[in-house]
Structures are given as C-alpha cells and as structure tokens.
Structure 1
C-alpha cells in the first residue's frame, strides 16, 4: 500500500524547517514534534503527514462510530483531531457557547505522504499512487530558501472574553458548586482573542515552538483553519495492548535564577493543593481506563512527578493499563474522552457546570491531535498552550484554564492562567 524510502540529512533542523515550508501547499497538514524532549513511550522525534487521499469529517453525532468505521476500513495511517465537544457524543451534553473558530467536531485523513524523523534519519512513506513523486518532492524541499516566508507585522490587539472581575465571580460560583457537593474539581477555561487579524500561521508556530520547546508540539492545517500548539501533555497512547495516559495537573513558573528555579520546583512538589488536583485526576483516569482494561491491570507508574519545560514546571502522572487484543482502539478513546485533566470530577457534573460558566465553545482547544497506525495503535496529545486561527474569518484565539478545587484562591488561579498564557501572548504581540 505504501512505498518506503530513507533519507539522511546532516542538518535535521534545517530539513525540518524546509519540509514545513514545503507542506504549506497542501490543505491537510499534521506536524507532530517532540523537540527531542526525553520522554518515555516515544516512537519518533517528529512526524509530518500531508495531502489527504481519503478523509472523514463529522459533527459529534455518532462521531466515534463513524471514526471506528473509517479506521477499520482504511487500515492505514490516519491523522487528525478530536474536539472537546465530542463530549456530546459520549454523554447527554450540549455545546452552546460562542464559537469564533468553527472547526468541525472531528476530522481525520489518510495522508498520501508521511515523513518520520528519528535522529538524522527520515523515513518517507508514500502511497503507491504517488510514490513516483518522492524524488521530485525531495528536490523541491532541498531547494527551498531559508527565508521564503512572508513576514506579517500586524499589531494584534488581544481581548479578554472574561474580564478579571467576572472571572472572580465565576470561580466563586464554581467554589459554591464544590462546597454543595456537585463536584470536587473542575477545569475552568477562558479565551483571549483578536478579530480582523492576519497572521502567518507557520511562522507563528515556529516562534511559539522556539520559546516553549515542548514534547507534543503540533502544527495542524485543515483548509483555512490552523492549530499552532506547544502542548506539553500526552492524552492517550496505545502501544500493542498497553494504554498510557499522562495527565498534567500542577503548574509553577520558571525563574532564570537557578537556585530560585529549583526552589519553585520543590514548592510545587510540596503544594498540597496542586498535589490534591493531580491525585484526583489520576483517580478519574484510573476509573476511565478500567472501562476497557483487563481486570487488575490499571496501575500508576508515576505519581506527581515534576517535569521542567522552558516556560513552566509541571506535575505529571503516568497511568497505564492492559487491554484485550480484540478491543477496538476507538472504544478506548471514547471511554476516556474528554481527558480528565481538562474536565474535572465527577466528570459529567463538572462538564455541565463548565458549559454553564464558560463563555466560549472550546472546540479544538482541550481536544486532541494525533494518529492511528495501520496496526491500530495510536498516540494523541492534549490541545493546550495553543493558538487557533481561522484565516477566512481573520479570527485568532488562545485559551487557558486551571483546576478549581475547594482550596482554590481566585486571584492565584487568575495569575496561574496568565503564566500559562505568557508564551502565546508574547508570540502574537512581538
């Protein structure tokens, strides 16, 4: 079905840059980059998939059933995304908030051309129908000038969907729900946006990636819609019969002073509120994984481990399970979606309260981007620390959120949101 070629390059970063420039001619692009961040369960340093041969686009109605049918039929590499609003396909929920971006709820495509990076080696896989194009494509990529992009310097006026005082009121409302026993944790998100704005999506992504350098970075293009993501979080991975989830809960800023930076890490690990947030979500993930797991195989491999990124320190846990070989991969995703780190617990109650208090439909934000392999394995990130862009509507958006628990202080939650938003704001306003 596919022809495989191998290419070695002495300057992998330059080849990546030229390849991304070359990819912009296509309507369907997914780029996933680990930024050489040392992580367990990593198969590739980076992957690029372009040019749809077949695809599936749907709203949330029967979305997972449609995806299952598509994935079973194609039995090939498929790349794409799941929006947060697929919650409505899993539970009796709705999404009625404002949507300035208008991404379809679910989109996956079977790429004609895929590039897998490992070290300075690139494995190139082309569908048989286009495998005679690879030499010409490689020639085109090599000939791309390093400064071919069009720099757009528009002043961008970032607006807040929820202003500070309203944010405090909403957090206090969430705390009232918690004290009443309606839930014990929820992830509350707010949107920052700009209208009538033109950006260069690829250059914006490259700038964001340079200052963030995260292990689940993504550039996604679907026609006139773009995701530019510096995500540090894996949602879910299937590797044979092993399922891996790595929720993030707990954030601390970085310091340029080494001693102070080390103290910030220690303070995060000793923070009772952050620890309780993470442990509550680990319990939720364990419960979600148990729905498809072989009995007794759900295990916490890492609990509340501190990982350091360029912008922040994060508290991450790793939960694994084993499934039967005949369990459908899409069923594993459906039974855990949306990811607990972006919802709260109990999950359904938290999602209802989130919907009532947030001002924006989340869409692709706090959804997932990734791929299925021909053997039915998969790997998906969590769409956070991301800029989203609708080129036709000239609408730019980024959202940030935080976990609200009984111990939450509205001012500290607001300040944490600003820490998370720093990289996106810096990229757009520079």
Structure 2
C-alpha cells in the first residue's frame, strides 16, 4: 500500500519568473507549469516535475474519480479528466488517443505568489527528512536566467476537421431540436488539427501565449508522449477544504475585441445588454446551482455575481459566479463527480445536451475536460479546458488537436455562432501558426 505524503516542508525565497523556471524543466518527466496571469483570479502559479506516483487509464462511468480517492492521491496531485469520461453515460464515446483520467503526485513543487512576489518552495514526504529533501530538490529548480525568447510559430498547418458549412448545419439542427422541445441549450464545437515542424515543441506554444495573452488558468503538462497546452480563462471549481466553500464561474456569452477603443467598449456593453447572451448564461447558472447542490449543505448555494463582463486580449466574456458550502464528508473527488463535465460546455438539460453533442462531434478528448490541482489540505482548483490544445508525439513528430465551441440556444444564428468560434480560437491559432487566416 502506498503511503500518503502527510509531512510538509515549506519555505519562502525571493521572486523569480515562473515561466523561466518552467522553461528549464520543460523536457523533464511530468513537467508541469500552471501559469497564472497574476490577475485577481490567478494569484498563484505552480511549477514541478518528476512525479513519484502516476495513474493513467480508463474510468468506470458510475465512478470516474475512484482513483483520486486512493490515499496516495489525497494531496499534492495534479489531474486531467477528459470530457468523454464524464459524458460517457450519455454518449458512450471514448477517445482513441487520450485516456479518461491522468493523475500525478508531486513531492516537490514551487508556488509563485504573484501578489506577495515570493516563491514558496514545497517539499512533501512520509517524514520530516523526506519532506526537507524534496524541498531542496524544488529549490534547485530555481533559475535567474533571462526570460526565454518568443519562438517562431511552431505549427506547419491549422487544418479544420470539417468545412464551415458542416458547423452551420450542426447549429441549425440544434436550433431545430430546441424548437421541438428536446433541450434548451447545447455547446457545439468545431475542431482543427496539424503537426509541429521538426524541432517544434508544445512548450513553444505556451511561450507564445504568454506574450501578452496569458490567462488565469494557463497550463503546460507533459507526461510521456502526451502534452497539453491551455490558455483557459474559465474556473470550473475552487474548493477550500478548511471551510468547505466552493465556487464556480461559468462563462457564457462572447464578443470579439476591436482595436478601436470606442468600438471595443460598445461591444462589451452590447454583450452585457444582450437578452440572448444573458438567457444563455442564466441557463448554465441554474444548471451549476443544481450540480453544486448535490454536494452542498442545503440552503448554501447562491449566485454571488451575475452577468459580469470579463475582458481578455481577444474577446469579452459574460461571466457569473455561483458559490456554496459543501457537506462535511464531501471530498475533492466527490465534488468533481457531482459536477463534471462542466455545464458551460455541455448545455441544459446536461444529459440530453451531451447526447446531442455526440451526434455532431467525435470524442473531444481533453478539450472541455478539466485540469485540476489537489492541494495539501485536500482542496481543489480545477479549470475548464477551453482554449486548449492537446499534443501526441508519434514517430518523432508532435501532432495537435484543438477545438472551439459556442452555446446554441433557440435564437442562435449559424453564421454568428461560427464567427464566435473563430474569435475564441484566435489566440491559440496565432500561437500555433502566427497571424494567418483560419
């Protein structure tokens, strides 16, 4: 039986750039960089490598997070759950490339506090000596070298998996299903794929995204022949184990940014006033309230903020915040099981929306799944894996796949939804191939 890492050794050191440290570890086994933009939603960045326990495999649909309940993964664990692992009860779909669940435990880790401008060196072990030794390992990763230069665009192509008209037809079909009373909303995506040039690496994409387009939940994770790069702005779950508080921040409603400040401000105002986007957002808020109530104490789930504008480098988003207090016996695994997949990327009712999605899309893999960190108290921070590309190395070449979707409601217009996906994929597309057309 594997012994949990219960002893913690932590000390603070002067600030350095987490991206610099992550670049130095990029090729190490289990290289991990949870890179925040340092804004109000992203106080901490985390960097690590060399996990001592790894789990990769399929899940049982009724209990997709059973492996996370094992004692060895109770703390200090990073995980990635694919969208299909949560959707399978409705769809039966399974990715041929990505496993349902990946978990890795990190005895040594560096935490970068963007507000205090300090680096926390963390070691974990079965006793004080092991924890101290792990902290020394983490301290050895710190570098003061210059920030890595921004590399050239690493991808050779950015190829759609289906023509634009196929997406328009899918949107029209979902609108017809909504009119027939089958569902209220479904998030329908389109996909692109390609290969990286010889010598190109997934971390090059992370470096390009970090140049003025960093997000609150940016991430790079490499395990074996797979890698993930995410520039997600969306929080799925934040769970504080010490007081039971849980928060989710679904995004629904998008406008592309405009270079002209006056027009850009007008677009943001239009989004906040849009009856369609507010209705779309409200449906998902209600869905997330229902999902949280499965794990929360009665009467504690509430909407703290509704229809707020969040402005990113390429888009404006409409965001709401739902909170609750979980029951005393609820763990991070229980909370994920009660709420996954996220409502913002499925639809309402969730089960039927996932069936409709499967009628129009192949398995999604990591996209719109979740990347999460279980902390030393058993708390949880989990992102929604939008603005995300997954990579597989095969025959010496890195192949990638990425998607963008839009929430389809009764008055959705196929062309407008197509353009929304184009706006959402813009930053990642430019990180992959430069400033070229789709």
TM above 0.5, yes or no, is yes
Instruction: State the shift of 1:60 in Å.
Output: 2.4
User: Structure 2: which 5+ residue stretches go unaligned?
Assistant: 1-6
Equivalent runs, 1:402-421 vs 2, <5 Å: 402-421=406-425
Structure 2 residue aligned with 1:309, among 288, 312, 318?
312
Q: Is the 8 A contact 1:400 1:421 kept in 2?
A: yes
Structure-2 residue corresponding to 1:56: 55
**Range with bigger deviation, 178-187 or 195-204:** 195-204
| Alignment correspondent of 1:120 | 117
Partner of 1:243: 246
Looking at structure 2, the residues matched to 137 and 241 of structure 1 have their Cα atoms a distance apart, in angstroms, of 30
Residue 155 of structure 1, CA deviation? 5.8
Contact 1:114–1:124 (Cα < 8 Å) also in 2: yes
* Cα distance change, pair 5–157 in 1 and its aligned pair in 2 (3 A): same
Match of 1:397 in 2: 401
Distance (whole Å) between structure 2 residues aligned to residue 357 and residue 136 of structure 1: 48
Aligned pairs, how many? Answer: 416
In 2: Cα distance, 1:109 partner to 1:85 partner = 20
Is 1:6 equivalent to 2:12 in the alignment?
yes
Unaligned runs of 5+ in 1: none
Structure 1 partner of 2:93: 95
Aligned residue among 25, 28, 35 for 2:37: 35
Secondary structure (helix, strand or coil) at the match of 2:106 reads strand
Q: Which residue of 1 aligns with 2:173?
A: 173
CA distance 1:147–1:122, change in 2 (3 Å): closer
Offset from partner CA, 1:144-180 (integer Å, 9 cap, x none): 565599x576661211112111111111111121111
What is the CA-CA distance between 1:92 and the residue it aligns to?
4.7
Shift of 1:195: 4.0
1:28 counterpart SS class: coil
Structure 2 contact 36–216 (Cα < 8 Å) conserved: yes
- Please name the residue that 1:340 is paired with: 343
Secondary structure in structure 1 of the residue aligned to 2:297: coil
Counterpart Cα distance in 1 of 2:138 and 2:302: 45
Q: Deviations over 1:7-51 (max 9, x none)?
A: 113xx33xx233112222422133222211123xx6x42112321
Q: Where do 1:325-336 residues align within 5 Å?
A: 325-336=328-339
RMSD, aligned α-carbons: 2.2
Measured after TM superposition, the shift of residue 318 of structure 1 is 0.3
Q: Say whether the 8 Å CA contact 1:211–1:311 is kept in structure 2.
A: no
Change (3 A) 1:127 1:415: same
Give runs of aligned pairs for residues 326-405 of structure 1, distance below 5 A.
Answer: 326-358=329-361, 360-392=362-394, 394-405=398-409
Following superposition, the deviation at residue 391 of structure 1 comes to 2.1
Bigger mean CA offset, 138-147 vs 205-214 = 138-147
3-state SS of paired residue (1:27): coil
Shift of 1:84: 0.5
Alpha-carbon distance, 1:241 to partner = 0.9
With structure 1 as the length reference, what TM-score do the two structures score? Answer: 0.90
Alignment of 1:59-78 (within 5 A): 59-61=58-60, 64-70=64-70, 72-78=71-77
Match of 1:355, SS state, is helix
Q: Secondary structure at the match of 1:264?
A: helix
Partner deviation per Cα, 1:133-152 (whole Å, 9 max, x = no partner): 75576456436565599x57
The secondary structure found in structure 1 opposite 2:91 is coil
**1:345-382 deviation line (CA, Å, top 9, x unaligned):** 01111101101111x31111001111112322101000
Greater share of helix: 1
Give the secondary-structure state (helix, strand or coil) at the position aligned to 2:107.
strand
**Which deviates more, 56-65 or 155-164?**
56-65
